Amino acid sequence: MSDYGKVIKGSKGATVQVEVRSGQRFSLAVVDNPSVGDNWDLVEVPDAKVASFISEEHEGGSEEPGSGRTAYFVFNGKQPGTTEIRLFDCWRCGQAKTPGTEESRQQSGEAIFAVTVVSAR
């Protein structure tokens, strides 16, 4: 995908306020590094009346250990309203969806995006 729309960066442990217009494409971007165990996932699809999920994309990095990349979670603003989008980084969880060790629990976390869609002008 080449059109990420408005890109909003987030990080583990942070809540970011996002404002987009109806019909506007936007992406929530987080740095991830699968070579060290990072694995970001969309916790749950947001209110589809407010923002619809399009796709998850990755750019940058390589297979080399320690080379990071950016994960983009792409959405489209729908009707005016608010919704919360939560991304979870399950650190070294493998196929599991929950941290299995104390170190994994400490390194895992959420990036939260409080999304407000306003009327297109």
Ordered domains of the chain (ranges, CATH): 6-118 (2.60.40.2020)
Q: Given pLDDT bands bounded at 50, 70 and 90, which one contains residue 36?
A: confident
pLDDT surpasses 70 at 101: yes
- Cβ atoms of 78 and 120 closer than 8 Å: no
Q: What are phi and psi of 103, to 5 degrees?
A: -60, -40
Structure confidence at residue 66 (pLDDT): 67
Task: Select from 38, 28, 31 the least CA-distant residue to 69.
Answer: 31
Give CA–CA dist 65/78, Å, rounded. Answer: 39
Q: Give the position of tokens 């999920």.
A: 53
> What letters, b where the CB count within 10 A reaches 16 and e where it falls short, cover 11-50?
ebeeeeebebebebebbbbbbbbbeebbbbeeeeebbeeb
DSSP state of 36: G
Confidence at residue 99, expressed as pLDDT on a 0 to 100 scale:
84
pTM over 0.85: yes
Give the tens place of pLDDT for each residue, 5-27.
999 999 999 999 999 999 999 99
Strand partners, 28: 8, 73
The pLDDT tens digits of the residues spanning 39-54 come to: 889 998 899 999 999 9
